[in-house]
Chains A and B, each alone.
Chain A
């Protein structure tokens, strides 16, 4: 059972083929801590475990068990090394196995079709190699060639796209399950062929079998990356929905603001009329006029048009809802962002904060915003009072069902925008404060002047 027969050796070759194929997909995913310890030590342990699997039988079922067993161990290894949800790692491993199987089938298809070296390429599944050395060497180079081409092809077709889209989820678990079954079926059929057939006698049967292996695994890969992409389309749909909802809410808000201004203008007219007729004590009436005019004091100048519109509107709304909204904003430094991104990013952040503080008692209704810059970096900070503890999970709030609909999408949309600009977003809850910190590289060359003019009006003296 532990003799160094070719199948016993092939266990390790198969393990290596499998790990490299899985590596194509896993390489850019977040690694666990102490990665450089886990990686070699896990590999050693894995090799030990594979060594420990005995070759109890050369039959069909045992060979299938052997390969699927090694595959299962390789999944365990990946989970030990990479930090990703299990289903995602399983996805990557299955994709890896499919690629390995395609490479294997391509190589064997060629070897059987040409009857290279007298059709001994399947001898590895037996007890000894009988071919002479030259043929063995040549077939080794062919082997390397076929695997290299297949693996590189898989990397460029699918592996590369994973670099950018690390945040994926499997949208259809049924299809995923069926895809896994198809890989298992291909492995099983393969065992049927290699244990029963010999290249010389059953050439056609084998060629059909390997062709089937190639095509079924290709299909599996296409399906896998389809159900992965589908999830992203769902994400995008969610954002579009959110933006639409916001536009609607935005309209209602703007309308409310216009109503406020209209009412104030109406009051103003009557107050002026009262002064003209001398009906009221002048001082009171003037105070009223002053208050009415104060509302126009909300017009904001930050150095960024999109932010001016947004902040003017939010200031007006906050003023009428007893919320103190304050900001220190270096708006010129946001010039690298599109207006729609700015409107959406700040709008989402402020809406979330407004929605939350509105539920608090009046003395706790404050929101503070700052946009500050240092050289090529811009930091956005938004904070508001936090009444109760808000547990964060992996830096993100655990949302209860009720507020997920609102808060969750807002944050998701913000994160998408921040990622678009190669930035980072962090949430923090601490001592009754909820804070969002956003770090963005501004990429704008030559805009590093430090001392902007202060836009202070002249009528400052009392």
Chain B
């Protein structure tokens, strides 16, 4: 179940959006939980980090969509945010509130459905999942996005996080799939790197935001760069 909020004051536009979502549900055999807000203020009052995708009109009464988004980002940095507008130029700077993308009105189904598919993929990437690890006898939960990179070293997996390193006895391949579907990419047979933490990628050299340098393997280089490019672009 994908949770979607619509923040839109115009009744007709909201109805079109809802009908498109309904069509997508039946065509793609998925289901949505929809919440509709008529103003940004009402939305902010009720938002508790419990949505996957938010469709936000820019031209809202009272507080406009960009201002609402700025306050939203204080509560939730990662939720997938899609703007709706009939004045395209106001959305150009959507990157400043980490907007995923925007849709120009009048909305057409093909434009909407192709973007929604990407938004859903992105939402699953940004989900606030945690990993359970067994580090020297104690079980603990780590939010996936708090891990900057994972390294395998003599049959131990080492999780490098903001609060220090944790290790446990297991193979990298046993955790790989989970990490790869949450915004990590495989740098080599012994590294999984959190794409959010990459400061620079030049050739085979990855520099993380904390200054740590990791060299990726020649074989993984191309795929790694492509995954990273698509991640940055919001795919």
Residues of A within 8 A of B (CB): 31, 33, 297-302, 315, 324-330, 362-364, 366, 368, 370-381, 383, 385, 422, 424, 426, 428, 431-433, 435, 437-439, 441, 450-457, 460-462
| Chain B residues within 8 Å of A451, by CB | 96
* Nearest CB of B to A30, in Å: 9
Report B110-124 residues with CB < 8 Å from chain A CB: 110-111, 114-115, 117-118
1/0 per residue, CB under 8 A from A, across B59-86: the answer is 1011010100010000000000000000
Report B178-235 residues with CB < 8 Å from chain A CB: 196, 198-203, 207, 209, 218-219, 222, 225-226, 228-230, 232-235
**B91 is an interface residue with CB less than 8 A from chain A:** yes
Given contacts A372-B233, A377-B201, contact A33 B219 (CB under 8 A): yes
1/0 per residue, CB under 8 A from A, across B80-110: the answer is 0000000111111111110101111000111
B66 and A301 within 8 A (CB)? no
B202 and A363 within 8 A (CB)? no
In the complex, A441→B205 CA distance in Å? 12
B202 and A462 within 8 A (CB)? no
Which residue in chain B gives the minimum CB-CB distance to A425?
B229
Which residue in chain A gives the minimum CB-CB distance to B96?
A452
A327 and B92 within 8 A (CB)? yes
Given contacts A324-B104, A456-B66, contact A462 B198 (CB under 8 A): no
A462 and B59 within 8 A (CB)? yes
In the complex, A380→B108 CA distance in Å? 24
In the complex, A362→B96 CA distance in Å? 31
Q: Can you pick out 14 interface pairs between chain A and chain B where the beta carbons lie within 8 Å of each other?
A: A31-B218, A326-B104, A363-B110, A372-B232, A374-B196, A375-B198, A377-B228, A377-B232, A379-B232, A422-B202, A431-B114, A437-B235, A441-B202, A461-B61
| Chain A residues within 8 Å of B109, by CB | 363
* Nearest CB of A to B230, in Å: 6
| Chain A residues within 8 Å of B103, by CB | 326
Which of B117, B198, B219, B232 has the most chain A CB atoms closer than 10 A to its own CB? B232
Which of A328, A441, A462 has the most chain B CB atoms closer than 10 A to its own CB? A328
Not counting A326-B88, A377-B232, A437-B226, a sample of 12 additional A-B residue pairs whose C-beta atoms are within 8 angstroms of each other reads: A301-B89, A330-B95, A371-B95, A372-B95, A378-B232, A426-B229, A432-B110, A439-B201, A450-B96, A452-B95, A454-B70, A456-B66
A456 and B90 within 8 A (CB)? yes
In the complex, A455→B222 CA distance in Å? 37
A-B contact count, CB below 8 Å? 151
Contact of A424 among B89, B218, B229 (CB under 8 A): B229
Contact of A460 among B64, B117, B209, B229 (CB under 8 A): B64
* Nearest CB of B to A297, in Å: 7
B235 and A375 within 8 A (CB)? no
* Nearest CB of A to B28, in Å: 10
Given contacts A31-B218, A366-B110, contact A377 B93 (CB under 8 A): no
* Nearest CB of B to A383, in Å: 8
In the complex, A451→B66 CA distance in Å? 13
In the complex, A381→B233 CA distance in Å? 6
| Chain A residues within 8 Å of B93, by CB | 328, 330, 452, 454-456
In the complex, A454→B71 CA distance in Å? 14
In the complex, A374→B62 CA distance in Å? 32
Interface size on B, residues (CB 8 A): 51
| Chain B residues within 8 Å of A298, by CB | 89
* Nearest CB of B to A134, in Å: 47
| Chain B residues within 8 Å of A438, by CB | 229
In the complex, A339→B111 CA distance in Å? 30
Which residue in chain B gives the minimum CB-CB distance to A452?
B96
Contact of A370 among B62, B70, B101 (CB under 8 A): B101
A329 and B114 within 8 A (CB)? no
* Nearest CB of A to B84, in Å: 11
| Chain B residues within 8 Å of A373, by CB | 95, 232
| Chain A residues within 8 Å of B115, by CB | 368
Which residue in chain B gives the minimum CB-CB distance to A294?
B87
In the complex, A401→B183 CA distance in Å? 39
Contact of A375 among B199, B203, B219 (CB under 8 A): B199
A381 and B234 within 8 A (CB)? yes
| Chain A residues within 8 Å of B229, by CB | 379, 381, 424, 426, 437-439
| Chain A residues within 8 Å of B88, by CB | 315, 325-327
A374 and B91 within 8 A (CB)? no
Which residue in chain A gives the minimum CB-CB distance to B109?
A363
Which of B94, B207, B218, B219 has the most chain A CB atoms closer than 10 A to its own CB? B94
In the complex, A454→B73 CA distance in Å? 14
1/0 per residue, CB under 8 A from A, across B135-154: the answer is 00000000000000000000
In the complex, A302→B93 CA distance in Å? 7
B200 and A376 within 8 A (CB)? yes
B200 and A329 within 8 A (CB)? no
| Chain A residues within 8 Å of B91, by CB | 326, 328
* Nearest CB of A to B86, in Å: 10
A301 and B92 within 8 A (CB)? yes
Contact of B235 among A328, A330, A381, A461 (CB under 8 A): A381
Contact of A376 among B62, B92, B199, B233 (CB under 8 A): B199
* Nearest CB of B to A205, in Å: 50
A326 and B225 within 8 A (CB)? no
B95 and A375 within 8 A (CB)? no
* Nearest CB of A to B70, in Å: 8
| Chain B residues within 8 Å of A327, by CB | 88, 92
In the complex, A433→B114 CA distance in Å? 7
In the complex, A378→B234 CA distance in Å? 12
B108 and A364 within 8 A (CB)? yes
In the complex, A375→B92 CA distance in Å? 20
1/0 per residue, CB under 8 A from A, across B39-64: the answer is 00000000000000000000101101
| Chain A residues within 8 Å of B95, by CB | 328-330, 370-373, 452
| Chain A residues within 8 Å of B110, by CB | 363-364, 366, 385, 432
| Chain B residues within 8 Å of A363, by CB | 108-111
Given contacts A366-B111, A462-B59, contact A328 B102 (CB under 8 A): yes
